[in-house]
Structure formats: structure tokens, C-alpha cells
A and B are shown apart, each in its own frame.
Chain A
Amino acid sequence: MSSSKKIRVVVAKPGLDGHDRGAKVVARALRDAGMEVIYTGLRQTPEMIVETAIQEGAHCIGLSILSGAHNAIFPKVMELLRQEGADNILVVGGGIIPEDDIPGLKKSGISEIFGPGTPLSDIVEYIQSNVKL
């Protein structure tokens, strides 16, 4: 495999939620699909996530959160990306995010939310089709 253009994705766990099963499984699936995945670990603030995405030249950010704090955190990430001039980065989310909250999140700039039961291939395909390389 010698092609050099790789999709770089930051997979992050924002806030205090410590359930990382899904984030790690998604990170590995993205790796198996040929992407370079920077996994940030737990307890990331929006500032840390955005800084990581910028330094690493990420094309996509995946936010995983199950604690219900998404309405406070996700828009903050989008706001910081805009401030830094990095809002061409594709931002997607997953975890426990009620249906009602999804329109609001999309309005703030999140491109898609992948809820429980989403096949990994759906996530891979979505990112591959929608990143701006």
C-alpha cells in the first residue's frame, strides 16, 4: 500500500464520561479502513480537542459522549473551530444523544450523529464520502 493521502481523524471523549468502548471500537474500525486515527483518551475539553485537531491536521473529528452533556459541549467545539479558522473539518458525534437534540446539534455545525446500533461500515463510508481532503 503506497498511496500517501490518508484521512486523518481525531476520536475524542469530551467531558467527564468514561465509557470508551464505542470510541475505541470506532477508532479501530477507522484504522482498519485505512485512516490515521488520533485517539485522545478521556476527559477532553473542547479547547483540547480543537487544539489536537489543528496540530494533527485532522480532516474529521469524532466526538463520543454518553453522559448527556452533548448540548453544552458539541456547540462549543464548533465555535472554537470557527474561531480558529478550522471549520472545514468534518465533525460527527455518537453515544447517547436523544433524537430531539439532533437538529440543534446539526444547526451548530455537527454533520451527523451515529446512535447506538449504527454499523461501523456506515460511519466509515460517511467519513470517506464527506471529508474535505
Chain B
Amino acid sequence: MEGVLSGKRLALARLISLIENEDPSTFAALSKLYKHTGTAHIVGITGPPGSGKSTIVTKLTSEYRSRGKTVGIIAVDPSSPFTGGALLGDRIRMQEHALDKDVYVRSMGTRGHLGGIARATSDTIRVIDAFGKDVIIVETVGAGQSEVEIVEVAQTVIVTDVPGSGDDIQAIKAGIMEIADIFVVNKKDLPGADIKVNAIKAMLELDTRNTGWTPPVMLTSARNGEGISELADKIEEHLRYLKECGLMEKRSLARSKDELESIMEYKLTRELLAQLQGRPEYKKAIERIAQKDEDPYSVAERLIVKFLSSYKEECE
């Protein structure tokens, strides 16, 4: 933990690995690091495959570096639901930062974490924040609910798209549209860029949220570096907006509530299952449910009551 605070990459990497492995020792480390967090600007970026997210991330990183900021990047890719493995290839697109000691890149698979990928990502963001990075970019594919959860831990969410996928917007999936703070239409030299921009703007008109921030729709050609500096400016602008209208605090409260509840839920579930796993009565109970001799609802009730009362006894 001291390693992390004193800027040692190896220590940071090890701690993140422990977090991913759901090692119980991380609780203590995360608890101690908590007050060193909160300084980083957390930017989430999501969008369909092929929209050039990794290129945007790498160019944005160059832009931040030229502005004197240090950057952490978390690239999340889906794990195979069958084998549990993952091919994490986003790093390939970030070669220019390979030897820059002020850029830290970590690839993560979605893994089937017990606490959800959002927990692991959130904790990882925490430690990179404590490590001292000014900006932390979280990049994910944006195809499902877990991806929405991931980017929700960000303060500024960018949703990307590309021209040519017709009038319909690929990003409108599972609420991603609603969490976007900035839209980026990348590869703007391809035909249909204007059509895409207008389609997004039309969708936004139907948006009834009314938070005072209208998500801008920006055009970039990340490969050529076009539009990137403007994007960095807009991200800064959004952060200022959050601070000025108190949204930062509001979100902070909401996030703290979510986080507390998710940690408690996680801990409880883990403790409960740890007690039950491997117990022959547990196995028998499951068999009875399968054979319809008992129903899962009453079994659950019974086990929880037992767990809570034994917990109460321990505390007394």
C-alpha cells in the first residue's frame, strides 16, 4: 500500500491483481487508501466496436500529456462466458505511450466477478487515483448492462459512434444514451457523418432529463488527431460544470450510497456463502429444491435467519 502511495508501478499492479482476485486483504488496503482519492478526473468512454475508441483514448492521452497531466487507462474487454478467459488487445493501439512512465495502462476482462465488474473497476480506479494520476480513462465496449455500470462510475461519460451505420444509432442500447455527457462521432471523413450527428441530436431532443447540460455532439478523426484538443477542452468544461452547479456533490453522495450498499451486499453475500459452501446440509437443501421437495424462497428465508441469528450470537 505504501508502494502505491509512493508511486511504485509494481506495487500498483500487484494491488490491482489482488482486487481482481477478490483477495480479502484488499479491503484493508482500499480502506486506508480511500482518503487519498478524489483528485482524479474520471472519464468513461464507451461505444460500439469499430468506432475507434482506443484510438481516441490514445490521442486524448497524448493531448493530456502535452498539457502536463498524468494519465491512467483501464481498458475493459469481455471475458468468454464459457472459458472465463479473455483476449485483451486494446493496448496495441496505445503503443506511443508504451514507455511513458506517467501513463499507466491496465487491461481487464469482465470475468464474472461476484461483485460485478463495476466493483472491480471502481476499486481499481480508486487505487490509480491514490497512485496520483490526474485523469483516469475507463474504456469499455458498451454492449450490455455491465458496461453501463462501468461507465457510471465515471464523472464524464463519452459515447462514441461512427458514420455509416445508417440513421439508427448503435449506441442506443441498455440506457447508454441516457448516461452520455458527450457524444463523439469518430472517423468523420467517412460518408454519412452529418447524418449520424443529426440522428443523435434528434434523439437528444426526446430526452426529458433536463439537467442543464446538453450533451454536445462532436466530430473527430482520431487517427489524424483532429477534434481531440476540442474534446479535451469539452471534458474539462463538463468537469467545471459539475463542480459549479453542485452536481459533483450530488453525484458523489449518490455514488457513495451505491458503493456502500454494494460493498455491504458483497460482504454479506460472501460471508453467507462462505459459511454455506461445502456444508452437506446446503448441498441437500439444493437437491431438495431441484426435486421440488422444498421451494427456494423458504429455504433462503430459513438460511438467512439462521445466518443472522448466529451472527448476532457472535456479536454478543
The answer to whether A and B belong to the same complex is: yes
Quick check: B99 and A41 within 8 Å, CB to CB? no
Quick check: B21 and A5 within 8 Å, CB to CB? yes
Given contacts A48-B99, A51-B98, A56-B106, contact A6 B10 (CB under 8 A): no
Q: Which residues of B contact A30 (CB under 8 A)?
A: 85
Q: Which residues of A contact B92 (CB under 8 A)?
A: 39-41
| Most chain B C-beta atoms within 10 Å of own C-beta, residue among A3, A37, A55, A84 | A55
In chain A, what residue has the closest Cβ to B100?
Answer: A51
Docked CA distance A3–B125 (Å): 22
In chain A, what residue has the closest Cβ to B92?
Answer: A41
Given contacts A4-B22, A6-B20, contact A52 B91 (CB under 8 A): yes
Docked CA distance A36–B84 (Å): 8
Q: Which residues of A contact B80 (CB under 8 A)?
A: 31-32
Interface positions, chain A 54-96, Cβ under 8 Å from B, are 54-57, 84-86
Q: Does B214 contact A (CB under 8 A)?
A: no
- How many A residues have CB within 8 A of the partner chain? 32
In chain B, what residue has the closest Cβ to A47?
Answer: B99
Q: Give the Cβ gap from A73 to chain B, nearest Cβ, in Å.
A: 16
Q: Which residues of A contact B243 (CB under 8 A)?
A: none
Contact mask for chain B residues 203-241; partner A; CB cutoff 8 A; 1 contact, 0 none: 000000000000000000000000000000000000000
Q: Give the Cβ gap from B80 to chain A, nearest Cβ, in Å.
A: 7
B88 in complex: contacting residue of A37, A51, A85, CB < 8 Å: A37
B21 in complex: contacting residue of A4, A27, A51, A86, CB < 8 Å: A4
Q: Give the Cβ gap from B23 to chain A, nearest Cβ, in Å.
A: 9
Q: Which residues of A contact B84 (CB under 8 A)?
A: 1, 3, 6, 34
Q: Which residues of A contact B285 (CB under 8 A)?
A: none
Quick check: B87 and A52 within 8 Å, CB to CB? no
Q: Give the Cβ gap from B74 to chain A, nearest Cβ, in Å.
A: 11
Interface positions, chain B 73-113, Cβ under 8 Å from A, are 79-89, 91-92, 95, 98-99, 104-107, 109, 111-113
Q: Which residues of A contact B113 (CB under 8 A)?
A: 2, 4
B83 in complex: contacting residue of A2, A32, A38, A41, CB < 8 Å: A32
Given contacts A39-B92, A48-B99, A57-B14, contact A33 B9 (CB under 8 A): no
Q: Give the Cβ gap from A87 to chain B, nearest Cβ, in Å.
A: 12
Docked CA distance A40–B92 (Å): 5
Q: Does A131 contact B (CB under 8 A)?
A: no
Q: Does B71 contact A (CB under 8 A)?
A: no
Q: Does A106 contact B (CB under 8 A)?
A: no
Interface positions, chain B 96-142, Cβ under 8 Å from A, are 98-99, 104-107, 109, 111-114
Q: Does B177 contact A (CB under 8 A)?
A: no
Quick check: A36 and B10 within 8 Å, CB to CB? no
Q: Which residues of A contact B95 (CB under 8 A)?
A: 41, 48
Q: Which residues of B contact A1 (CB under 8 A)?
A: 81-84, 112
Contact mask for chain A residues 2-34; partner B; CB cutoff 8 A; 1 contact, 0 none: 111110100000000000000000011011111
Q: Which residues of B contact A28 (CB under 8 A)?
A: 87
Quick check: B88 and A36 within 8 Å, CB to CB? yes
In chain A, what residue has the closest Cβ to B15?
Answer: A57
Q: Does B56 contact A (CB under 8 A)?
A: no
B87 in complex: contacting residue of A2, A39, A54, A55, CB < 8 Å: A39
Docked CA distance A91–B21 (Å): 22
Docked CA distance A26–B264 (Å): 40
Given contacts A2-B114, A84-B10, contact A56 B107 (CB under 8 A): yes
Q: Does A35 contact B (CB under 8 A)?
A: yes
Given contacts A54-B9, A54-B10, contact A34 B83 (CB under 8 A): yes
In chain B, what residue has the closest Cβ to A2?
Answer: B112
Q: Which residues of B contact A39 (CB under 8 A)?
A: 87-89, 91-92
Contact mask for chain B residues 1-45; partner A; CB cutoff 8 A; 1 contact, 0 none: 000000001100110110011100000000000000000000000
Q: Which residues of B contact A33 (CB under 8 A)?
A: 83, 85
Docked CA distance A1–B83 (Å): 8
Q: Give the Cβ gap from A36 to chain B, nearest Cβ, in Å.
A: 5
Of all A-B residue pairs in the complex, the 3 with the closest CB atoms, nearest first, are A57-B17, A31-B85, A41-B92
Given contacts A1-B112, A2-B113, 4 further A-B contacts (CB under 8 A): A28-B87, A41-B89, A56-B106, A56-B107
